[in-house]
Amino acid sequence: MEYISTRGRASAVDFEGALLAGLAPDGGLYMPEAWPRLTVSEARRIGEMPYAKAAAEILSFFAGDAVDSALLHEMTADAYGGFADPAVAPLRKVGDDDYILELFHGPTLAFKDFAMQILGRLFDAALTRRDETLTIIVATSGDTGSAAIEALKSCARVNIVVLHPEGRVSEVQRRMMTSVIAPNVCNIAVDGSFDDCQAIVKALFADETFVRSVRLGGVNSINWARLAAQTVYYYTAWASVAGKDEPVSFVVPTGNFGDVFAGYAAKKMGLPVAKLGVAANANDILHRAISKGDYTPATVRPTASPSMDIQVASNFERLLFEAKGRDNTALRDLMEKFSDKRSMRIDDATLAAIREDFVSAAVSEEETLAEIAQHEKATGDLIDPHTAVARAAAIRLRGEGVISGKIITLSTAHPAKFPEAVEQATGRTPALPKAYSDLFDRPEEMRKAPAAADAIKSIVNDLFAKGSA
Ligand SMILES: Cc1ncc(COP(=O)(O)O)c(C=O)c1O
Ligand SMILES: N[C@@H](CCOP(=O)(O)O)C(=O)O
């Protein structure tokens, strides 16, 4: 399986090449050259397997010859063996045709663990075999950072630098990152937004000398391997609720557009998916894009669902590439204009192509808190604010007749990562799992930096210039 850049000016690479590069050298994102195809009966056979086995099977389609299949099975068994729920990604029925897919039973209590636990193992194997080291740069709005640190901290061949927007992640999220004190881990609180952090990551990737000198890699969802691993739970969830070849819809709390794009990938591979619901918080650029064709970033608004406080969604580029019939010249032109104007009007044909698969809704702060409260009243369970955004969107989209049939809402984080919002909505404080019971007593270590690529570059150079991993 070969991977091509959305911008068409980088050579094709194999799965391992895409994994190690993160972003393509022409600034584009890697995509499978062609979608692997499964029949519906294959999808069911794999979706009904225990989670780790299903993951190895699906990942084999993406990895091709680049990773040995037996090794993939070992890695996934190891990666998902440590999840707190034996089902790994359990489904809860919350209404006649409504389900919640719990994706927060991994080591850092958010869906990021699903991909990151595999990526850590894939990096380890590839770098050991190649006798190479890597400096991983990560931008986080709260969850990717801790999942990446947890997965990579004991990887001797990797240094990891995590940029988070200062004061804009929850205290639990921050402590889960900054309390990991290790020689190969560096947390930086950036004076800016997540978008600033993500722009810095892309600026660093654009500096070829720097990329070579520290051997830069990335594990944000710009990295195709992240999305490949995230397609798996769409299969297992579909197989547990769907009759025969029944199409099912998924509603996904969305920020960087990675998780919902993994659902799109599953659909392109042949999984019967009806609609993919993009649920946005008050930072509603993706809802404006899908409903009106207006992709214009606004100032980031801090919300109760901080991990989705994102304006420029990296993976939207992958969707535009698809919706434009994979025309990389048109895509490159569009992205260059967007970079100049900071605004994009999506033409009617592209929008129509997007709407074949995607619908959207934006959920206000009041609605988010009301949904946490009403869900607790109806089920006795606490949900986190990101999940609440998606659940409120699912209820609205069904009510308006935009989606019908079975709906699976993705629950992306444990409520204890956002105790203030949950307590405000319900009066109950969600307890952190045992592994984190002393989180607030652990010492923290982090640096601070302005939102400037040069400042980050100089920290990374000081710490991890070539050969120091
Ligand atoms: C808890 C949570 N929910 C939802 C999202 C949005 O996911 P994506 O960025 O893949 O759209 C994030 C951040 O990525 C998150 O951390
Ligand atoms: N919400 C994310 C932001 C980064 O998204 P990614 O999926 O591209 O890594 C976070 O919690 O860090």
Query: Which atom, in ligand 2's list, is nearest to the CA of 222?
Result: 8
Ligand 2 midpoint to CA 143 (Å): 6
Q: In which residue are the tokens 């895509």 written? A: 331
- Exposure of 14 by Cβ count < 10 A (0-12 exposed, 13-18 middle, 19+ buried)? middle
Identify the active-site residue in 112, 324, 406, 457.
112
For position 465, what pLDDT does the model report?
A: 77
Ligand 2 midpoint to CA 196 (Å): 13
Determine the Cα–Cα distance for residues 423 and 426; give it in Å rounded to an integer.
5
Is the CATH code 3.40.50.1100 the one for domain 91-109+226-426? yes
pLDDT digits (tens, 9 = 90+) for 139-177: 999 999 999 999 999 999 999 999 999 999 999 999 999
Is the Cβ–Cβ distance between 272 and 245 less than 8 Å? yes
pLDDT digits (tens, 9 = 90+) for 78-126: 999 999 999 999 999 999 999 999 999 999 999 999 999 999 999 999 9
User: Which tokens is 151 given?
Assistant: 């997965």
β 91-95/358-362 pair status: unpaired
Name every protein residue with a CB atom under 6 angstroms from any ligand 2 atom: 140-145, 220-221, 255-256, 258, 307, 314
49-64 burial, b for 16+ CB within 10 Å, e for fewer? bebbebbbbbbbbbbe
Ligand 1 midpoint to CA 291 (Å): 20
User: Which tokens is 255 given?
Assistant: 């920020």
Going by C-alpha positions, the residue among 106, 92, 362, 374 that lies closest to residue 254 is 362
User: Which tokens is 31 given?
Assistant: 């995509």
What residue ranges of the chain have pLDDT lower than 70? 466-469
Residue 252's SS3 state is strand
Query: Which atom, in ligand 2's list, is nearest to the CA of 307?
Result: 1
Q: Is the CB of 307 under 6 A from ligand 1?
A: yes
Q: Quick one: how far is CA 164 from the chain centroid?
A: 15
Ligand 2 midpoint to CA 300 (Å): 15
Residues 6 or more apart in contact with residue 364 via CB below 8 angstroms:
282
pTM: 0.98
For position 466, what pLDDT does the model report?
A: 60
**Ligand number nearest to the C-alpha of 144:** 2
β 2-5/13-14 pair status: antiparallel
Residue 90 one-letter amino acid: P
**Residue 93 catalytic?**
no
**Ligand number nearest to the C-alpha of 262:** 1
Ligand 2 midpoint to CA 103 (Å): 15
319-357 burial, b for 16+ CB within 10 Å, e for fewer? bbbbbbeeebebbbebbeebeeeeebebeeebbebbeeb
Query: Which atom, in ligand 2's list, is nearest to the CA of 198?
Result: 4
User: Which tokens is 228 given?
Assistant: 């490949």
Tell me which of 308, 316, 417 to substitute to probe ligand 1's pocket, judged by most ligand atoms within 8 Å of the beta carbon: 308
331-337, long-range: CB < 8 A, 24+ apart = 331/6, 331/7, 331/8, 331/28, 332/7, 332/8, 332/9, 332/28, 335/7, 335/27
Which amino acid residue places its CA nearest to atom 12 of ligand 2?
140
Tell me which of 137, 220, 312 to substitute to probe ligand 2's pocket, judged by most ligand atoms within 8 Å of the beta carbon: 220
Is the Cβ–Cβ distance between 300 and 310 less than 8 Å? yes
Ligand 2 midpoint to CA 392 (Å): 21
Q: Is the CB of 412 under 6 A from ligand 1?
A: yes
User: Which tokens is 351 given?
Assistant: 């929008």
User: Which tokens is 212 given?
Assistant: 């070579």
Q: Is 0.85 exceeded by the ipTM?
A: yes
Torsions phi, psi for 318 (to 5 deg): -65, -40
DSSP string for residues in 59-85: HHHHHGGGS-HHHHHHHHHHHHHT-SS
**Cα→Cα distances 454→46, 204, 313, 464, Å:** 47, 9, 23, 15
Angle between helices 285-292 and 348-355 (to 10 degrees): 110
Determine the Cα–Cα distance for residues 337 and 61; give it in Å rounded to an integer.
35
